[in-house]
Amino acid sequence: MKFSLIVATLNRKKELDILLLSLKQQKYKNFEVIIVDQNKNLIDNIVKKYSDIIDIKHIKVDFKGLSKARNIGLRSIIGDIVAFVDDDCEYLPDTLTKVYDKIEKEGIDILSTKIIDKYSLEDVGIKWGRNEKIINKNNMFKNSMSASLFINTKILKNIFFDENFGVGAKYGSAEESDYLLKLLKQSPKTLYTPDIYIYHPLHQNIFDLQKEFNYAKGLGAFYKKHIKEYSNFLILLKIFIKPAIGIVLNFYNNNSLKYLMILKGRIYGFFKYR
C-alpha cells in the first residue's frame, strides 16, 4: 500500500522542514510526498535537502489558493491512500504504520485521526472525541479535518475540491467538509479513531474579526450548497441560532463582536452562494 501525501504550502519554510524531517523518520517507507509550492523560491533548499531521501514531487504554481493547490496535487498521485498534510503538521515515526494497519485490518475507505499540539497535547481545530465513531454527514464536523483524513483513492472517482472554498478563495473555509461530503455519497466505510494522532501547533487565538467573517462565509455557503442534505432546523441551528446566542451571552465583552461577525459571515455566505 502506497501513500500519496499532498502538501500545499505557502510562506512556511521552517515548518515544512520539520514536517519533512518527520516523514524521513517514518518506519513505513512506501509513500510519496507531493509538494504544491505557492512560494517564490522560498523552500527550494528545503526540498533539495530531502529529495534524495524521500520520494518528492515538487510542483511550483503561480497562484495562491488551498483548494486549487490540492487539486493540482490530486492529479499527480499514484498511491493507494491519499492524505492532505498541512505544511505545519508533524507525523510521529509510527503514524503511517498505524494508519496502514488500521486501514488494512478493518478495510477502511476513509480514516480520520486525532490532531493535537505536540507540547500541550491539547486538541487542535476541534474537540476530538474519545471513542471511535463511524463518520457521517451529521458528525463529520466533530470527527474530521482535512489534515486528519486518509482516503482510499479507489473512491475518489475524479472528485476534487470546490475551488470556491478554502483559504485564498471566495469562501474562506469548509473546503474539507464539502470534499468529504462528496466522498460520503460513495457510501464508503469510514472511521474516526482517537488512537492515532498527528501533531499540529496550537496557534494563538488572535482576535481577527475579518478572519472570523471570512471563515464563517465558508460554512454559510457550504450549507446553502448542500441544503438538500440537511434539515431546515439543523441549518438554522448551525448558521443562525448558535452565533446569535453567543452574541447575547457575551454582550458585555469583546467576544460579542466575534459572534456578530460569525453571524454576519454565515448569513452572507448562505445568501450569496450560487
Residue 204 domain flag: no
Are 111 and 156 in a shared domain? yes
Q: Are 56 and 92 in a shared domain?
A: yes
pLDDT at 205: 56
Domain carrying residue 135: 3-199
The answer to whether residues 180 and 234 belong to one domain is: no
Model pLDDT, residue 204: 61
Do 103 and 19 lie in one domain? The reply is: yes
Asked if residue 210 has pLDDT above 90, the reply is no
Which stretch, 140-144, 148-152, 153-157, has highest mean pLDDT? Answer: 148-152
For the chain, what is the mean pLDDT? 94
State the sign of the Cα–Cα–Cα–Cα dihedral 270, 262, 178, 17.
Answer: positive
Span 200-205, mean pLDDT? 78
Is residue 104 situated within a structural domain? yes
Same domain, 245 and 113: no
What is the value of pTM for the model shown?
A: 0.93
What percentage of the chain carries pLDDT values higher than 70?
Answer: 99
